[in-house]
Structure 1
Amino acid sequence: MTYEEFIESKQLSVKSTGFDVNTSELNPNLFDYQKDIVRWALCKGKAAIFADCGLGKSFIQLEWAHQVAKHTGGKVLILAPLAVASQTAREGEKFGIDVTVVNEQSQTTAISITNYEKLDHFVSNEFTGIVLDESSILKSFTGKIRNDIISRFLHTPYKLACTATPSPNDYMELGNHSEFLGVMTRSEMLSMFFVHDGGETSKWRLKGHAESLFWKWMASWCAFISNPADLGYTEQGFDLPALRVHQIIADGVRPTNKSLTLSERRQARRDSLDVRCSAAADLVNNSDDTWIVWCDLNDESTKLESLIYDAVEVKGSDAAEYKTKSMLDFANGDLKCLITKPSIGGMGLNWQVCHKVIFVGLSDSYEAYYQAVRRCWRFGQTYPVDVYIIISEKEGCVLESITAKQKKDEIMKANMVALTKEITKNELQKTCRISTPYQPSIEMVLPNWREMQ
């Protein structure tokens, strides 16, 4: 290996393995920023799209899948959370893209979509393209399932991962995406850009001198977008309505600042279950609005269903068909109140039909809270969104924890967008710049001196 080859091998560049399409070939219903992202992702061949809720990730991935299937003549499989598959198929109908909800390999067409849980029913090497919808779901799966998804599609030529903007300090999620796309394994990413904080934290910390290089590397295979205006686009309507968070102390006293153990918090939730559920039922029953009520315990779900008029309960033990139908009925505005857990319905669904949200208590997961809120508080929502958090006085510390995590997450995401904005913009322009093809029409006449040589 020469010195030049050695230097070249150290460059953190991600080679494009895809193909280029002209903007005129893309679905005319796409916004300009969506067209540029689709073209960029097609050119990359293997890419991730980190875009906030309501920016049209479903439409982007459907058009990407359509172009891959057309270019290769092969099949593309989309993996999605429960109920999102049927929702995405409806989106396809709206925009003239044929996508089939399938349960097994024999049902597949050019573009097929299924739930993550049904992955074992498919033959991965029969697809030329794979899309992970709500791809952050990888980190909530067991390591075995995560590794299974990565290994199954290791040699798939075209890959796309779509999810909301991840938390910048969730390096495991970023590493999972990198490994799925074949850019760099998670362990390689950690060793190159991070140091391990020993002691009590046991977390990875980005090396100070590697920060700009890390985000430049990320933006070479990821498109970060929280608002089209951040990247210079002029599309209108991408302003979020007001988010109003209301705290209700169900037992009527001030929340305590005392820190509780996990078992103590669980017991506190059970002790206050009746009063919290009654408070939630009073809000819903005395209103004509549509409501989503999030709970964390099975007993909460059962109690709420018995107290709230015309409510539909969706439990983990319910059949997949019932879960899907109930959540789609809610999306259509056919239900006044849906009761479920964030772990069941908190990912990927579009519920702008609802702007009244209740949490009957809180878990320690900020991401579960954030995703559940964003089902309703997303681009396309036309009303202010009211979020009611109903807790007992002993659970006050949990609310404080969620609030602190929210502020930290907002600051870090803003910094991440600022760091990657120009890089992402340059990536999209570099890959998607439209040039007029040169068509020579006049024969060149060589000079006499050239003919004499």
Structure 2
Amino acid sequence: MEYMEFLERKRTHVPHSGFDPGDDVSDALFPFQRDIVRWAVMGGRRAIFAAFGLGKSVMQLEIMRLVQAHEGGRALIVCPLGVRQEFKRDAGLLGTEVEFVRRTEELGGDGVYLTNYESVRDGRLDPNEFKAVTLDEASVLRSFGSKTYQTFLELFDQVPYRFVATATPSPNRYKELIHYAGFLGIMDTGQALTRFFQRDSTKANNLTLYPHKEQEFWLWLSSWALFLQKPSDLGYSDEGYALPPLDVRWHEIPDDGDSEVPVDRDGQERMFRDSAVSLSDAAKEKRATMAARIAKAKEIVDESPGDSFILWHDLEDERREIKRQMPDAVEVYGSQDLDERERRIVGFSDGEFRLLATKPVLSGSGCNFQRHCHREIFTGVGFKFNDFIQSIHRVYRFLQTEHVRIDIVYGEGEREVVKQLREKWARYDELTRKMEGIIKEHGLSDASIADAMKRSIGCERIEASGDGWLFANNDTVAEAKLIPDDSVDLIVTSIPFSNHYEYTPSYNDFGHTEDDAHFFGQMDYLTPDLLRILKPGRIYACHTKDRVRFGNVTGAGIPTIEPFHAEVIEHGIKHGFDYIGMITVVTDVVRENNQTYRLGWTEMCKDGTKMGVGCPEYILLFHKPQTDRTKGYADVPVAHSKDGYTRARWQVDAHAFWRSSGDRPLTPEEIAGYPVGEIGKVFKEETLRRIYDYESHVKIGESLEGMGTLPATFMAIAPASWQPDVWTDVNRMLTLNTEQSRKRQQMHLCPLQFDIVDRLIERYSNPGELVYDPFGGLGTVPLRAMKMGRRGRGVELNTGYFLDAVKYLEAEERRQSMPTLFDMEGIGE
């Protein structure tokens, strides 16, 4: 396969695994609903994110009916508690038979079945008994906890036809959308994360959309998920689907002045009671104003004796207080018998009683209360926006005929929670407008969306050069073709870590690959040329590291490690390199844990078998076979003068074992007494001066912790290594990203440390020789080559990185050409 054909095959294709039902779609549906049903069945695995009241239940029923009729077997609708009556009512209108079951033993023959999430979650109903499944209001899964949410979505991976329907995919939780994609089989969760999102190197799960991928992300969502706000988005009339006015009123309950003064974790009293930003703080604030808030709610209820109300609350104590102040309120709570809970929800939906007291997490999804209710009171506020917005739309939905009023009561100390809630609401509205624009532009046309998602292929080469350097903006495969055979003295690079990061919106990007096999498939076009251009007997030093694979993605239950460096070794050998060794670069395990949460101290205390070790980085040393294989020397050796490279230095480089100098080692108490900023340096010197003592190492850390000076964000007392192939002294901060940050320019995702590059250049090249980097980034390798008296060359696909690299290289060239005081001696004589 030619390289361009390989790149062309990367183009995004809208997945299809269904069939065209044609005219078999029921005429009982509205025209816009029929279009959606046909689109979903043709895709086979689709998500319907339609606004409240647009008929998701009837569409899901029809989808299940069509698939079951076409494929035979059983179809399943999974829904929240209290919603099955809605499905049965709609099934009657469509003439579709549905049977409610809770256990596998209750299943009969082929047909459409209905169950609750709890039955699947608790293992009573086996998903593998079904040919098709749809998850109604799947967002309620979040209330089961993140672990259950993730594992639940994996239970159906053997079901051929899968669908999701909910009105509120949260714009504040990108991972939820990605998990839906994983459930539907659209894209692996890990692949989606690395394709669209920039990771926060200081905190795991803090996802930020790459600016250059934002439009592509929303288009990709639209290729398998329909975001519909009203029928006119698909070109139909909105008659009967106009929402009534929404009146939202916020009521702040002042602090009574007698409650406890807030104190932070350092013992400092707060001047204002407006800092309830944690769950524990929020719970305290709720209890401090509980009676007053519910009294306000009662006042609102008493003002409108003819209206029905939903009284939303979060705490069990609030429920009890509601019942105390409003005895006629009917309660729904978690420990209640499921049948009784469902009976009360259905009873309120049918108008049997006036006041319903319940939690958003229990009744905020799927229930249709608009027939007999248009008033809601939130007796408090919480952090979970999805629960909040879902609860509002239990009454504010299409087919609601009354003016809807929402009263939100909160304590003075909960202002920050209210602020965050309103900000999330604004982002939710922004997503709604964004997706509305996409559906209006592309409709249900898969071809239109696929065309809009096309990335660029190819790169118009730009070259910049100077005295001792050349840097190109180009595809690295194309650039390597331009370099003559046997012309490069040393290759130093950090290759992309498979599909872990993407650097550009281009199919040429090596990070834009599906998996390791796909990545190495693209490397197959580059590595042969790296072998060709390298001089015989010289070194290709490849920086890489292993990859963490999370248990919720692999199904292993614990984080495992993919030995990516081993795959790189195998790849290099396959293409003709001799593999001669590996240098280990030790990284900060504390910082790594902050990024991945896989080595947590708390989890280790629960079960030590869960915890592996930190992931170091590796420099893999590949050797191009020399011309004369009967001798071990390179065609052009890297020679050292024995005057400068002494026997003693060679012994340290080749194999070092340092004994104690004889001085008394510092005690843990003495080391702990140093200023925090000096402890790491002192400890490192001590570990290299004397034989390592594990218990002493731990005791020093414990002494620091007892003094409150053991950092939680980095490892202050990392052990140093005597081994020359284990580098523990690399300065992680000494990269060009430091300069990029100072200039407020784009940071590189994986900067290469100066220490690593300098040592490789010194060890494996001669002065004046050419050092090449096929993944040039910000130009670190050619820049350090220039500084060390070599020539540098590199190539970078990302235009922004290229332009920044050229500035650094030009600046170094100017620095080297600037005369010094000694250069000026003799001038004018």
Q: What's the TM-score, normalizing by structure 2?
A: 0.49
User: Are 2:376 and 1:357 aligned?
Assistant: yes
User: Are 2:353 and 1:335 aligned?
Assistant: yes
2:114 alignment counterpart? 113
1:159 alignment counterpart? 162
- Pairing partner for 2:441 from 399, 403, 422: 422
CA shift in 2, pair 1:104/1:385, >3 Å: same
Question: Deviations along 1:82-137, whole A, 9 cap, x unmatched?
Answer: 11223212221232211111111233351111111101122222211011111223
CA shift in 2, pair 1:144/1:392, >3 Å: closer
- Pairing partner for 1:228 from 222, 226, 231: 231
Mean Cα deviation higher: 360-369 or 288-297: 360-369
Question: Deviations along 1:211-232, whole A, 9 cap, x unmatched?
Answer: 3322222222111111111221
1:84 alignment counterpart? 83
SS of the residue aligned with 1:220? helix
User: Are 2:431 and 1:388 aligned?
Assistant: no
SS of the residue aligned with 2:413? helix
- Pairing partner for 1:411 from 430, 441, 452: 430
Structure 1 letter corresponding to 2:125: F
User: Are 2:341 and 1:323 aligned?
Assistant: yes
The count of corresponding residues between Structure 1 and Structure 2 is 430
1:433 alignment counterpart? none
Cα offset for 1:329?
0.5
2:523 alignment counterpart? none
Tell whether the 8 Å contact from 1:231 to 1:422 is kept in structure 2 after alignment.
no
User: Are 2:390 and 1:371 aligned?
Assistant: yes
Tell whether the 8 Å contact from 1:253 to 1:393 is kept in structure 2 after alignment.
no
SS of the residue aligned with 2:7? helix
Mean Cα deviation higher: 270-279 or 40-49: 270-279
Cα offset for 1:199?
4.0
Mean Cα deviation higher: 306-315 or 43-52: 306-315
Query: Within 2, Cα distance between the matches of 1:425 and 1:76?
Result: 25
Mean Cα deviation higher: 390-399 or 325-334: 390-399
CA shift in 2, pair 1:422/1:129, >3 Å: same
Cα offset for 1:420?
4.2
Cα offset for 1:143?
4.2
Tell whether the 8 Å contact from 2:172 to 2:427 is kept in structure 1 after alignment.
no
Q: Which has the higher relative contact order, 1 or 2, with Cα contacts under 8 A spaced 6 or more apart?
A: 1
Tell whether the 8 Å contact from 1:219 to 1:423 is kept in structure 2 after alignment.
no
Structure 2 letter corresponding to 1:358: I
CA shift in 2, pair 1:202/1:58, >3 Å: closer
Cα offset for 1:396?
2.7
Structure 1 letter corresponding to 2:116: N
Mean Cα deviation higher: 40-49 or 307-316: 307-316
Tell whether the 8 Å contact from 1:130 to 1:159 is kept in structure 2 after alignment.
yes
Tell whether the 8 Å contact from 1:167 to 1:413 is kept in structure 2 after alignment.
no
Structure 2 letter corresponding to 1:247: W
2:293 alignment counterpart? 276
2:10 alignment counterpart? 10
CA shift in 2, pair 1:251/1:208, >3 Å: closer
2:804 alignment counterpart? none
- Pairing partner for 1:306 from 324, 344, 356: 324
Query: Within 1, Cα distance between the matches of 2:435 and 2:274?
Result: 32
1:437 alignment counterpart? none
Tell whether the 8 Å contact from 1:296 to 1:341 is kept in structure 2 after alignment.
yes
CA shift in 2, pair 1:253/1:399, >3 Å: farther
Query: Within 2, Cα distance between the matches of 1:250 and 1:208?
Result: 41
Query: Within 2, Cα distance between the matches of 1:260 and 1:186?
Result: 30
CA shift in 2, pair 1:147/1:296, >3 Å: closer
Cα offset for 1:328?
0.4
2:416 alignment counterpart? 397
Cα offset for 1:241?
1.1
Query: Within 2, Cα distance between the matches of 1:247 and 1:332?
Result: 28
Runs (4+) of structure 1 moved beyond 6 Å?
A: 252-256
CA shift in 2, pair 1:207/1:283, >3 Å: same
Cα offset for 1:260?
5.5
SS of the residue aligned with 2:361? helix
Question: Deviations along 1:299-328, whole A, 9 cap, x unmatched?
Answer: 110111222242201111101001100000
Cα offset for 1:258?
5.1
Cα offset for 1:4?
6.5
CA shift in 2, pair 1:363/1:143, >3 Å: closer
SS of the residue aligned with 2:445? helix
User: Are 2:215 and 1:212 aligned?
Assistant: yes
User: Are 2:268 and 1:267 aligned?
Assistant: no
2:659 alignment counterpart? none
1:74 alignment counterpart? 73
Tell whether the 8 Å contact from 1:357 to 1:388 is kept in structure 2 after alignment.
yes
Mean Cα deviation higher: 52-61 or 384-393: 384-393
Which structure: greater helix fraction? 1
CA shift in 2, pair 1:259/1:129, >3 Å: closer
CA shift in 2, pair 1:113/1:2, >3 Å: farther
SS of the residue aligned with 2:356? strand
Cα offset for 1:29?
1.8
Cα offset for 1:398?
2.2
Mean Cα deviation higher: 105-114 or 314-323: 105-114
CA shift in 2, pair 1:33/1:393, >3 Å: same
CA shift in 2, pair 1:264/1:4, >3 Å: closer
CA shift in 2, pair 1:46/1:8, >3 Å: farther
CA shift in 2, pair 1:167/1:151, >3 Å: closer
1:22 alignment counterpart? 22
CA shift in 2, pair 1:263/1:137, >3 Å: closer
Mean Cα deviation higher: 299-308 or 131-140: 131-140
Query: Within 1, Cα distance between the matches of 2:91 and 2:35?
Result: 19
Determine which structure has more spread, i.e. the larger CA radius of gyration.
2
Query: Within 2, Cα distance between the matches of 1:414 and 1:90?
Result: 32
1:238 alignment counterpart? 241
Cα offset for 1:65?
0.4
CA shift in 2, pair 1:9/1:378, >3 Å: same
Query: Within 2, Cα distance between the matches of 1:200 and 1:238?
Result: 43
Query: Within 2, Cα distance between the matches of 1:384 and 1:333?
Result: 17
Tell whether the 8 Å contact from 1:76 to 1:110 is kept in structure 2 after alignment.
yes
2:145 alignment counterpart? 142
Question: Deviations along 1:43-82, whole A, 9 cap, x unmatched?
Answer: 1111111111111000100000011111111100111111
Structure 2 letter corresponding to 1:42: V
Structure 2 letter corresponding to 1:393: E
1:446 alignment counterpart? none
Structure 1 letter corresponding to 2:55: G
Cα offset for 1:259?
5.3
- Pairing partner for 1:125 from 125, 128, 137: 128
Question: Deviations along 1:361-408, whole A, 9 cap, x unmatched?
Answer: 111222221111011111111111111112222223322322222123
CA RMSD of aligned residues (A): 2.5
Unaligned runs of 5+ in 2: 258-271, 450-829
Query: Within 2, Cα distance between the matches of 1:279 and 1:138?
Result: 32
Mean Cα deviation higher: 26-35 or 203-212: 203-212
CA shift in 2, pair 1:310/1:138, >3 Å: closer
Structure 1 letter corresponding to 2:175: M
1:443 alignment counterpart? none
CA shift in 2, pair 1:170/1:419, >3 Å: farther
Query: Within 2, Cα distance between the matches of 1:181 and 1:35?
Result: 21
Question: Deviations along 1:159-203, whole A, 9 cap, x unmatched?
Answer: 111111423342101111110011111110111122113446952
Structure 2 letter corresponding to 1:414: R
Aligned-residue sequence identity (percent) comes to: 35
1:176 alignment counterpart? 179
